[in-house]
Amino acid sequence: MTTFLQQLINGISIGSVYALMAVGYSLVYSIMNFSNFAHGGVIMIGAYLGFFALAIWQLPFPIAFFIAAVGSGILAIVLERIAYNPLRKRNAPFLYFIISAMGASIFLENIVIATIGPNFKTYPQVFQKTPYEIGALAIGRLDVVMFIISAVSLLILLIIIEKTKVGMAIKATAYNFKASSLMGVNTDYIIFIVFGLGGALAGIAGILFGMKYTVYPQIGVITIKAFIAAVFGGLGSLSGAVIGAISLGIIETMTAGYISSQLRDLIAFALLIFILVVRPMGIMGKMNEDKA
């Protein structure tokens, strides 16, 4: 039982970081109706910004956290203005957006390799390694910090979505883009806000993931986990993305703990295929043939 609880805690911890990635991914999908594969590149940049702020510039963690979140948010907005906005103005097919997103992701990865290098980089120790002990359970301090930061970030996003005029406009635009535009909603501004919020969440996920593991140019591939979580919960559903992410984190840690760590990714992709075959709209999503 102790082993089960230990794996459950670990799964919730990493699942909370997946949730940050998946919610940012779902935010963009809910408005733009396409899979933003450049999201992984934004996560990577956030991880590097956090690393440089802590290891090179030796700034306090709160400031490094702020730099990673804001820097990634700005990067996401710039990507939207350069890579997606011209396509949107020309009413290009959604396939063009996906191709542009893939190109942006490859560009970010290669520019990091060319400028910073391909080597793995390890974050300095920010929090003590001594775990919190509750009976036979040992909970890492970093795991607790990851969960708290993720939960607070998602709570702030929920308040923005549910309690502000911008949030209402985001929900209206997600429900019907054209009708919202006709009713006076500035959809261009809403897209700007959505990419900024999604990018900030990606930056937070990047610095937390980098602190937990390491930083390298291909770290953006972790966005596949965000995609799996979003599909599992239901593309376009923020609450579904959180449920899917936490579930994926628990499934992965249980697989690694009870079967083999080499099978955790295999199980994750098997879950993706199963959901696409059995319930393509996910747990809380709705079927929409227009979305890609």
Q: What is the pLDDT of residue 111?
A: 95
DSSP 52: I
Q: Are 58 and 239 in contact (CB under 8 A)?
A: no
DSSP 279: -
Q: Are 122 and 214 in contact (CB under 8 A)?
A: yes
Tokens 């747990």, residue?
283
Q: How far apart are CA 106 and CA 40, in angstroms?
A: 10
- Ranges of residues in the chain with a pLDDT under 50 are 288-292
The token pair at 184 is 């006076």
Q: What is the pLDDT of residue 232?
A: 85
Tokens 């509750």, residue?
134
pLDDT in tens, 98-146: 999 999 999 999 999 999 999 999 999 888 888 888 877 888 899 999 9
Q: How far apart are CA 229 and CA 268, in angstroms?
A: 9
Q: Cα-Cα-Cα-Cα dihedral of 36, 18, 210, 84, to 10°?
A: 10
DSSP string, 159-174: HHHHHSHHHHHHHHHH
Q: What is the pLDDT of residue 259?
A: 87
Q: How many angstroms separate the Cα of 104 from the Cα of each of 44, 148, 173, 217?
A: 13, 31, 25, 14
Other CB atoms within 10 A of residue 227 CB: 23
Domain limits of the chain?
Answer: 15-223
Tokens 């963690």, residue?
61
Q: What is the pLDDT of residue 286?
A: 56
Sequence letter at residue 119? N
pTM over cut 0.85: yes
3-state secondary structure of 28: helix
Angle at 192 between CA 170 and CA 51, to 5 degrees: 115
Q: What is the pLDDT of residue 190?
A: 95
Give the helix, strand, coil percentages of the chain, each rounded to 5.
75, 5, 20
